[in-house]
Amino acid sequence: MTAAWQEQVSLKPFNTFGIDVNARYLAQPSNDQQVREALAEAKQRGLAVLVIGGGSNLLLTRDIDALVLHMASRGRRVLSDDGEQVVVEAEAGEAWHPFVQWTLAQGFCGLENLSLIPGTVGAAPMQNVGAYGVEIKDIFAGLTALDRQTGELRDFDLQACAFGYRDSVFKRNPGRWLILRVRFALSHTLRAHLDYGPVRQRLTEQGVDEPSAQAISDAICSIRREKLPDPAELGNAGSFFKNPVVSAECAEQIRSQHPGLVAYPQAQGQVKLAAGWLIEQAGWKGYREGDAGVHRLQSLVLVNYGQASGAQMHALALKIQADVQRRFGVELEMEPNLY
């Protein structure tokens, strides 16, 4: 059966910023066939197509004069299990966090640090989602995508995805690949990553010395719930800026004027600066302009207090970007996808 098309649909429930713009058309395909039919129909009518999942990494600045395809495919399965290594696969429209919880319930380790990230499985490779020292590239086993230029299916291995820090070949070629399903290489044995932020400390406070994958997931969920606004209560798209990676000399120069600089050494002598710290030092924490604001606890998160438009959110982001550039000489790159 073909996925139904709705006309002039508000996208407010489809983006976590809660921005109220209209899509000219909306369809919610639940399998490959429906995806192909919708793409073919859009091509015939000369319509652009925008694919979305959970809308948690979007900033919608205008009505979308296109067919919006909200991925609604479901399904998750174990492809192989040799008693140690396990390969699992999930359809693009599966919600990310329930998928992570499902893997943990099967006793599979690897995705625990990526708990409670909003959005879908299909969008996770777009920016190589990462948190608490793990990125999906670390447990990635492949994905299947539809080439929207040729209509052919293609399997991507790790190398072909060209994953980087919040980056991938998919992010660099917007609209080219529609990700249908993603595979992960998990394990029956836990290799815990606890040295990031307050994770170990939280487990210690809970009296856990040798945590299970589920205990790590629970600790991370509790930290995230304390620090990050819940989009169901306060519109946001998570971190609005990427952490800038600069040369060691640049970091030292900033540190000479701002001794409290929060910075983490990276490969090849580079240094990652905490964008949230730069924004906070520039005085933006808790700032509000109408309904567009900077979260009061986490300066990296821009929030919509209710009726802000995408253009207002974008204008605030541009002001912050310019101010950080002026004060620190560092360019902040926006993380959400702007439309």
Binding site for ligand FAD (CB under 6 A): 16, 50-58, 71, 92, 117-120, 122-124, 126-127, 129-131, 177-179, 228, 231, 236-238, 337
> Closer CB to ligand NAP, residue 75 or residue 197?
197
Respond yes or no: is residue 74 known to be catalytic: no
CB 295 within 8 A of CB 303: yes
Phi, psi of 75 (to 5 degrees): 140, 135
> Closer CB to ligand FAD, residue 186 or residue 228?
228
Helix (H) or strand (E) holding 247: strand 245-247
Respond yes or no: is residue 166 known to be catalytic: yes
Please tell me the distance from the alpha carbon of residue 154 to that of residue 180, in angstroms, as a whole number: 10
Binds 29: which of ligand FAD, ligand NAP, none (CB < 5-8 Å by kind): none
CB 116 within 8 A of CB 97: yes
Amino acid at site 251 = A
> Closer CB to ligand NAP, residue 73 or residue 243?
243
Binds 118: which of ligand FAD, ligand NAP, none (CB < 5-8 Å by kind): ligand FAD
Strands (E), 34-168: 49-52, 58-59, 64-70, 76-81, 85-91, 130-131, 134-135, 140-147, 153-156
Distant-in-sequence, close-in-space partners of 221: CB < 8 Å, separation ≥ 6 = 115, 116
Which one is catalytic: 115, 217, 239, 309?
Answer: 239
Told to check if 132 binds ligand NAP by CB under 6 A, we report yes
> Closer CB to ligand NAP, residue 1 or residue 232?
232
Respond yes or no: is residue 239 known to be catalytic: yes
**Contact residues for ligand NAP, defined by CB under 6 A:** 130-132, 195-197, 227-228, 238-239, 243, 264, 272, 274, 276, 298, 300, 335
